Each structure stands twice: as structure tokens, then as C-alpha cells.
Structure 1
């Protein structure tokens, strides 16, 4: 199982703007964190695209290219690229270039996005939410296999054999499909034979098992080999040397972030009781010491019938850089070995 980290690059508490020195500091700290993740033996680092004042990651490929120059083996992914409001040609070119810079470590995780700011920003109609994604995913997958593409659709001018360059080092350039809880998304991923990345940000992970089974069944019906139908999990959490420390470090920024989202979407404010329930042994949050995190990863792996990757969003808001660095170190040097030992013992 691959283990890694995702980040949306939250702004610091002191800034609601991306145009000051604190934003530059946050980017600098992020690059230090990615370098440490590489050194600690983690497998993947993902940057999620957002277009909001509370996050800095509107251009993941640019950040990942900077990280590529500081790392040697860790895979560098978008988490996710909001393909519906982007141009598939430009996305492919950006990540093909990243693939060359990183010597074959780039991945695109595409999705429709859990926030909608990019749609009006780039002039797209939310009424076309699903149609945009389906059409643009079709084009992106063609770009992986064809240099000169003939394609036409409703939401983008046609391609009539133009060459799309550069070509990536990996052939094909890896594309994974990021999903939430929409059943049709699981079926689409399986039918296309694309690796799945499931965002588990609430509820209990085992409740997604029917949808994961649906994905695998759709892939089998479409003739895809089981080994190509891999399932990755994106989860929220934090870790420290003790569970008590991790719990107290995460709660303030978790409560603030989800209370803010709640005001936008009509949810009530987050309570401590809700937080504690979410970090229970069967809950979605992964918060604790290395042993607790490893145990929960193994639980999720069993509950979902086997996963190939787990990436942890270390908080949804800004946390102290030193604590983040310690969490990354613990994830790579203690959690990952414990998980691999547990998997080996289970298969023996």
C-alpha cells in the first residue's frame, strides 16, 4: 500500500489574502514539507486545486514542479484537478511537463470539485456540472494515447489533428478519478478502467463498501483486469507523538474550517462531540499517535476490501509548521512500516 499526504495549502490565520508575505512563507513551508515527505519514505504528495481566499493552491502543477526539483522518488499528484472548469489540453501539457521535470513521477487526479468557485471564475455554467466533466475527461484520456487528436464536443472547440506537446515520460501519463459519494462516479471510473480515489471526509468508511464494490463490478463488466481497478482513499487527520496531542492540535483548525464551510452550505457549527465521534475507531477522521493511525488504516483497508493507497490531509486549516514536519516524519518512519507489517502478517 502506498501512503502519502495531500494539501490544499491553507493560508495562515493572520491572512485572508494571498498577496502578502505570509502567503510566500506558507509556500516555502509547504516545499519543505514535501521534501521531508520524500526523505521520510512516503510514496505520494498531492496538491488539491482551490480558488478560495483560505487556500493557496490554485495552480497545483506549478507548486509540484517546484517540489520536483527538491525531491527524488516521491510521486507528485494533483488532488484534485477540477477538470470541468479547465482545458484538458492545458492540463495534459502542464502535467506532461511536470512528468519530464520529475523524471516520471507525475499523476493527475481529476474530479468535479467539492467547491464551485472555479466555474464562474472561468466562465462555466453550473448547470453543465456533469456534462463538462464527462466531455473533458473523454478528451484528456485521448490526449494520453494520441499526439495528434481528432475530437469534437459541446463545451470546447474541436481538435482537428493538432499535435499536443510535450509528451510525458510515463506512457500513459497516470490519471486517477477522484470521487465523493455519487454512485454514477464509481460506475464511470470502473467502466473506464481508471484507478479510483475516494474522499472519505465524513461518516464511516465501511459504509462506502457497496460503492467500491459497484466500481469493481463495473470495471469487470467492461473487461478491465482486477489489478487495474485500484482504490485509493483520501482522508482527513493528524498525528503526533501521543494521541492526546494530535487530538488537541487538530480540533481548532478542523472546527473552524468546517464551521466556515457550514455557513456557506447551511450546516450547523461543528461541535467537540461531533469531532470526537468522527475520530472514533470506525469514524472518518484519522487522528492519533502512529500506532493508532496504522491501526485505523488497516481497518479501512479491510472494510473496503483492499486499498492500494491512502493519503492523509493533515488538517483542513493551517497548523504550526514544526508540528506538521513532525507529523510527516511520523507518518513516513513509523506509520508506513507498521501498515506494511500488518499487511504482510494478514497475507501470511
Structure 2
């Protein structure tokens, strides 16, 4: 049994947090270059997948993940390269396909697309879309993207998208079709949609007990089966915040301040309670969604999550907020060199 292990990032770009206090944020240009180095490190040390998020706000550096992934494509060899996510509702499905087909060529067939509706809404007014159409935009654009992925010449009657009268879309991906994943924070509608379409699904689990997503996975597989898809052939992934250091104590100490700053900014916007050590320790525990600790601690928690949810892929989201770049690289190396072998061996023996 092969479990893919990888990373996701939103290219956080705020004041750099450590135990000695905050330091000024680096430039967005430097943060983007650091992301490429993180992808290269993940590839060098044998991780399977790297997903990069799209945002259009001050505290994140990357608005076009494909450009950054393309830069890394030419200096990596094996790692799959994905968005995490492409906010499809406010993008053009034709251009999405074309960009990822180009990435597929540059990476020798390692491109994937992870699409979602987006938990951040800045792209909607930026590109002239109405939030009232939030759900309908995603449904229509996903249908069009899937059609383009399967057909070189596209016939399309749009309602919220322009109609296409027998036009061809180029370049075509080197892969027969690009892998397209649905990404969700856990809404039932997303599980039902992905299952009905027979698409792989990724759950973002960033709070609470990961085991509670078992019901979502069951729903996804049940609707897939009822729509004629073999659930045993459909991939299920999760991504969760995390950080690996040599010891539990070191990981806990080094990661906390950045997580708190990131969480508290979102808390102001969304009405969440402020973050504190009690919440941090609770999420680090066996019933929480933080995968923070030594390689052995993180591996054990990943194994439990994979078995409970029946996953085929787990992605560690790191960093959360901004930490010193060298610490991020060290965490990536420990995840690849020490966590992955433990997880691999466990499932090889199953």
C-alpha cells in the first residue's frame, strides 16, 4: 500500500516569528524565490507532491501558483506539482487548462490541478465576479474545465461563462488528461459533487479531530458508487498544518508564534476566538489537527489519520504564518528523511 506524502503552502509573507520576537517580513519576491527552493528541497529528499495556494491579499506572496510551480518544474525531477488551490470560481477555465498544460510540458507530466471555491473572497471583486454567484460560478466552471480536459475541440453553451462554438484549446497536456482534484474544507456539498463526478478529493483539516471527517469520506464514496464510479479507484487526501523538528519540545516552541499570528489575523476577519497555548496544545494532541513534533510523533499521527480515513495521500501544510526560511527547509528535510520512511514502512508491511 503506497501512501503519497507531500507538502502544501500558501506562501505566507508576514513578519517572521520566532521565540526571540518578530522580525520584518521579507519581500514578496524573496518569498517566491524561497518557495522554489522549498519545492526543490522536497523533490531532492523524495517527497511525492507539492501544492501551492492562490491568494490576492497582502499577507500572502503568490497569486499565480502555476508560474512558481513552472519555475520549479525545470529544477526538479519527480515531485508532482499542484495548485492548492486554484480558485476556479473567479478564473477562466480555458486559461486554467492552458496554464496547467504548459506546466505539464515543463515538468514532464507532473502537473495536477486542485480546484476549490476558495475560503478567501478577494479574487471575486478583483476580477469582477459577484459573491451571489459563488456556488453557480464554481459548478459551471468546473463542468467547462472537465470538458476541456477531455476534449480538444470544445462546444459549450455558457450562462455565467462565455459560450464556445467548436473552438480548440491548446496546448494539450502531455498526460492523457490532467488530474483534477476537488478541494474542500468539509462541506457536504463538496463531497457529494466530487463523488458524483468521480473526481479525487482533498480535505483541508485545520481544526478539531481529523476523525470527524470519516463521515465526509463515507458520503463521498457512497455517492461515487451510486453514480457508477469504483470508490476503490478514487484517491482521498488531506492536508493539515504541521511542523517537524528533532524533538516535540523544539517543534512546539518554534512553531507556536507563527501559528498564533496567522490564526489571530483570520480570527479578526472571521469572528473566531484568539489563539492561545491551550488551543495550540489541544490541536497538537491526538484529537487535534496539528501535526507538530518530532519525526516519530508526526509519523504516528499521520498513520492514525491515514488508517481512520482511508487516505491515499497526506500533505503537511508548512509553514503557517512566517518562520525563518532555514527552519522551513529543516522541517521539510526531516519530514522527508525521517517521517516518510516510518509511514512508508508501516504501510508496506500492511
* TM-score category of the 2 structures, normalised to the smaller one: over 0.9
In 2, distance between residues paired with 1:35 and 1:315? 16
> Does the CA-based 8 Å contact 1:29-1:321 persist in structure 2?
yes
Q: Shift of the alpha carbon at 1:315?
A: 2.5
Could you say which residue in structure 1 is the equivalent of 2:201?
Answer: 196
SS at 1:165 equivalent: coil
In 1, distance between residues paired with 2:252 and 2:160? 46
1:4 and 2:9 matched? no
Segments of structure 1 that go 5 or more residues without pairing to the other structure are: 15-19
> Does the CA-based 8 Å contact 2:306-2:314 persist in structure 1?
no
RMSD over aligned CA atoms reads 1.1
> Does the CA-based 8 Å contact 1:243-1:292 persist in structure 2?
yes
> Does the CA-based 8 Å contact 1:12-1:26 persist in structure 2?
no
Could you say which residue in structure 2 is the equivalent of 1:324?
Answer: 328
Aligned with residue 74 of structure 1, among 79, 95, 98: 79
> Does the CA-based 8 Å contact 2:115-2:180 persist in structure 1?
yes
In 1, distance between residues paired with 2:275 and 2:319? 15
Q: Deviations over 1:200-238 (max 9, x none)?
A: 011110011111100000100111122332100011011
Aligned with residue 310 of structure 1, among 294, 311, 314: 314
> Does the CA-based 8 Å contact 1:61-1:98 persist in structure 2?
yes
Could you say which residue in structure 1 is the equivalent of 2:239?
Answer: 234
1:292 and 2:297 matched? yes
Taking the TM superposition and a 5 Å limit, the aligned residue runs for 1:119-198 are 119-198=124-203
Could you say which residue in structure 1 is the equivalent of 2:288?
Answer: 283
> Does the CA-based 8 Å contact 1:48-1:81 persist in structure 2?
yes
Taking the TM superposition and a 5 Å limit, the aligned residue runs for 1:14-29 are 22-29=27-34
In 1, distance between residues paired with 2:216 and 2:194? 11
Aligned with residue 345 of structure 2, among 335, 341, 344: 341
Segments of structure 2 that go 5 or more residues without pairing to the other structure are: 17-24
Higher relative contact order (CA 8 A, sep 6+): 2
Kindly report structure 1 stretches of 4+ aligned residues shifted beyond 6 Å.
none
Q: Shift of the alpha carbon at 1:12?
A: 4.1
SS at 1:5 equivalent: strand
SS at 2:222 equivalent: helix
In 1, distance between residues paired with 2:102 and 2:194? 25
> Does the CA-based 8 Å contact 1:12-1:22 persist in structure 2?
no
Q: Deviations over 1:245-270 (max 9, x none)?
A: 11111110101111110100111211
Could you say which residue in structure 2 is the equivalent of 1:116?
Answer: 121
Could you say which residue in structure 2 is the equivalent of 1:13?
Answer: 15
Aligned with residue 51 of structure 1, among 53, 56, 67: 56
In 2, distance between residues paired with 1:228 and 1:303? 18
Q: Deviations over 1:118-158 (max 9, x none)?
A: 11111111111111000000000000111110011211110
In 1, distance between residues paired with 2:113 and 2:69? 11
In 2, distance between residues paired with 1:39 and 1:300? 26
> Does the CA-based 8 Å contact 1:241-1:289 persist in structure 2?
yes
Size of the aligned set, in residue pairs, is 340
TM-score w.r.t. structure 1 length? Answer: 0.96
> Does the CA-based 8 Å contact 2:80-2:110 persist in structure 1?
yes
Q: Deviations over 1:40-86 (max 9, x none)?
A: 00001110111110001100000000010110110000000000000
SS at 2:27 equivalent: helix
In 1, distance between residues paired with 2:287 and 2:45? 28
Q: Shift of the alpha carbon at 1:318?
A: 1.1
In 1, distance between residues paired with 2:343 and 2:26? 39
User: Structure 1 residues 285 and 21 mapped into 2: Cα distance closer, same or farther (>3 Å)?
Assistant: closer
Q: Shift of the alpha carbon at 1:22?
A: 2.0
